[in-house]
Structure 1
């Protein structure tokens, strides 16, 4: 399997022919008198992925596969995007879906088509919805795709997430929130003390959002036979987040510079700790992806 988006699986044998990934940074341009404009970094932009799929009857029912993509887009929900290696790329939404017909029957049924799927990163609160693996799409039976292991549309049963899946969801949600918080901290670190002071409510707000998923990580990971390290990670990162918040409560104009610096350092430690667990979490995601957890 090449990758999975929500409950839609992509394989090379199933028709995926290309994937392009791009990232960006947001820069504000400030005009200056008698000089070139000054650029100011405002934060990271959203990552984007573009997939190219070839639809053909030997790869499965083209209309069924296209219908599944349209249905996923119309639900307007973020979807977990995981590579076949187990690497979790994050939550993505389907932004555009373009279908170019190359061959049809006399009655308009698709015989061959090229689909361009554009995905955009979703950075809000996200809990991965997991689908229990079911039967492959009956339309693939007897095709070359079926004999080569190409997946079809899996059943839509929606069980409760497993403990491993909950651990991954809590960790990724916390990580996304902390990264967003770190970007905000770094965006205001060079501002004047009064400007930094005005941003304190927003800084406290974004760190508050990380508390619940970190508590969930510490609690749920403790239920895994091999999750003690991740439980300790949740507790350690939560301690850093609480330290970052404590440094900003209370603050005043006279001490905001030093308190902000201490708070930013604590949050940087939290982000570094979460980043250090990426390989561990990717291993868990691989177990989920291969139906072992």
Structure 2
């Protein structure tokens, strides 16, 4: 979980790629005879946040996700913005939703696009609505100490470190296999076609970052998890290498850059697959209630 705005959840695996925060101060300028103007501080300006989100079927239904954002803007209501760590940023209103279409079908159905969501601080009367009980307190141990921040239900038991490690590994493995399939589908295209697929390629690799980071963190807390922690770091390094090979790219270098990116992703899939027996052993321990 990266952040929650009202009831709208944003995750790295779901395509959020950027968050820009802007603060300002208001100053009045007074003209002076035969001298430079004098500035007088009036007050603090409203904070603004701009979110960048990649929409693609592999990251969720693009039309549905765009609809939720537009509805949030149309309701004209302040919404609580909470980071995944549990930090309450404050109430914000959605002032702008722009959608840049990257790819569409012949009948105009959006396949991939980049959405910019503009948020502005709300300073009026606001009562924060708690949609789900049990907002994680960063001061507590448990899940916050093992890299699983977010909104947790007080009715749901906190999973063990072993269960979290298995969950992160499965999520990462699923994403990496989906990424490999996408690369296989793209590799036969011409340079122009491959270049047009770069946002999708970056999007699918972005989804692997969060679970791999979680795997490295959680596995490091296990008595015998040092190997899995290193594995998570190694796979993450290959994923980041795959992403960096595609930034920047143009028609003159896309073929070579794509080949290098694909090679790095293949290494990530191979390394992740090498842990299958190890993970199966952990799963057996959970099933027998030993972990």
Normalising by structure 2, we get a TM-score of 0.47
